[in-house]
Amino acid sequence: MSRSQELFARAQAVLPGGVNSPVRAFRAVGGTPFFVARAEGARLTDVDGKTYLDYVCSWGPLILGHAHPAVLGAIQAAAANGWSYGAPCELEVQLAELVRGRMPSVELVRFVNSGTEATMAAVRLARAATKRDLLLKFEGCYHGHADGFLVKAGSGVATLGLPDSPGVPAPVAGLTATVPFNDTTAVEDLFRRRGPELAAVIVEPYMGNAGFIAPEPNFHATLRSLCDRHGALLIFDEVMTGFRVAAGGAQERLKIRADLTTLGKIIGGGMPVGAYGGRADLMRLIAPEGPVYQAGTLSGNPVAMAAGLVTLRETARPGFYETLERRTARLVAGIGDAARRRGVPTATGHAGSMWGLYFAPGPVRNFGQAKGADTALFARWHRAALARGVFLAPSAFEAGFVSSAHTDADIDFTIAQLDAALGEARAR
Ligand code: KE4
């Protein structure tokens, strides 16, 4: 029995499913999850000494790779000054100013401790500002695990094939309408039927919780104009895409101004940080300036702020995003070419260093089509890749990431190993 297997057995005696987040349990791909001993750069090393090239990157936060020296130094320096004050500190202001500088639509911002907190608060704010209750989300999008979002959600909910989720009261679920991503006709129809009830539309600008699905050219412009016409707010959930798909996030890439934006992952550099922000007239409704309540014991803590600050500053270096996108494009093209040479129908996509692949003829434009992909083949491919030292997200309904620690040689190695892994997966 390996150390990971021993630890997983122990973990299952004290943690539901042996994990602290469902997708980590490898339920969709089989086998025992490896337990990590340490991580550095683009690599994870497990407790049995095996090393993996990491394309999960902690599900997005680690755009610089693991244990980046500058981030480590910032965390150590901040911690040396104490690590939670329960009172304001300059680091919070610095990170807020940096976020606003990179995302001009975010005129004011509030830091919280996770993406879920950020989206929860943004929807509460939208409902307060519009005095309406109905929320529109898209099938397969995942906005965290707050009750109202667990309706046809992506990520772990899709991975485990769960019904939306028990424990969400029907009246709450009833306040969330869903339509397929990229389906402007369905959106227009919903606005026609229920526009006066709609507080907000919340959307992942690029879908990263059902694999990777890009928006079609007119999709977001249609959302923007429908929201304007009907008095609803547009919330861009950029927890994953923020500072990942471009220096200014998806809203810079798509040239769409959201009313509210939610952030997470990269802005904490691997420490627990979420944020919501946007139009000043909306954000000024948030307590203590306004009546909409939201709070958090550890919000804005100096260590997390320091990690986020240094991470974002590092991404501001000249050519940072261009290099990441070039490497990601090479990776995706390499895998796609290998699959085609093997006669395996494959649909690939990427935006910046966020990427995905479906074993399906494609194009995949919504969650319904994503669910038609060959997930059994994906599971066999995942296991064969892991044996070859490449760690992909353990679900066909998750996006992959490339960090600035991944070198061109790593990309070449990965393409070769994933090609061989596909050959093995097909043979079974
Ligand atoms: P957290 O509460 O997990 O920090 O953020 C929730 C969230 C909100 N919005 C988007 C677009 C997200 O992608 C997420 C979280 N993403 C998943 C990965 N697909 C987190 C990984 C996990 O749940 O273990």
Q: What CA–CA distance (Å, rounded) separates 408 from 111?
A: 35
The protein residue whose alpha carbon is closest to atom 18 in ligand 1 is 59
Burial of 291 (0-12, 13-18, 19+ CB in 10 A): exposed
**Residue from 254, 262, 268 nearest 202 by CA:** 262
Total-model pTM: 0.98
* Strands 134-138 and 176-179, bridge-based pairing: parallel
Q: Is the pLDDT of residue 23 over 90?
A: yes
Domains of the chain with CATH codes = 3-67+318-427 (3.90.1150.10), 69-315 (3.40.640.10)
CA of 239 to the centre of ligand 1 (A): 7
What strand order describes the sheet that includes 400-401?
A: 347-351, 354-358, 400-401
pLDDT band per the 50, 70, 90 thresholds, residue 293: very high
pLDDT band per the 50, 70, 90 thresholds, residue 165: confident
pLDDT score of 163 = 57
Q: What are 300's two structure tokens?
A: 């804005």
What does the pLDDT average to over 368-396? 97
Q: What CA–CA distance (Å, rounded) separates 97 from 106?
A: 10
What does the pLDDT average to over 387-406? 98
What does the pLDDT average to over 54-66? 98
pLDDT band per the 50, 70, 90 thresholds, residue 401: very high
CA of 419 to the centre of ligand 1 (A): 29
The protein residue whose alpha carbon is closest to atom 20 in ligand 1 is 59
Please give the share of the chain, as a percent, with pLDDT higher than 70: 100
Q: Is the pLDDT of residue 161 over 80?
A: no
The protein residue whose alpha carbon is closest to atom 24 in ligand 1 is 21
What does the pLDDT average to over 129-134? 98
Q: What one-character-per-residue DSSP string does 88-142 give?
A: --HHHHHHHHHHHHH-TT-SEEEEESSHHHHHHHHHHHHHHHHT--EEEEETT--
Q: Is the pLDDT of residue 372 over 70?
A: yes
What does the pLDDT average to over 32-53? 98
Q: Is the pLDDT of residue 308 over 90?
A: yes
**Residue reference for tokens 């491919």:** 381
Bond before 318 cis per omega within 30 degrees: no
CA of 145 to the centre of ligand 1 (A): 8
pLDDT score of 366 = 98
What does the pLDDT average to over 165-186? 94
Range with the poorest average pLDDT among 57-66, 137-146, 151-160, 284-293: 151-160
Which residue ranges have their beta carbon within 6 Å of ligand 1?
21, 23, 59, 114-116, 119, 142-144, 155-156, 204, 208-209, 237, 239-240, 264, 274, 398
Give me the residues paired with residue 36 across strands.
46
Q: What one-character-per-residue DSSP string does 29-80 give?
A: T-SPPPPEEEEEBTEEEETTS-EEEESSGGGTT-TT-BT-HHHHHHHHHHHH
Catalytic residues: 142, 237, 265
Question: Candidates 113, 138, 143, 392: which one to mutate for ligand 1, based on the most atoms within 8 Å of Cβ?
Answer: 143
pLDDT score of 428 = 79
What does the pLDDT average to over 131-148? 97
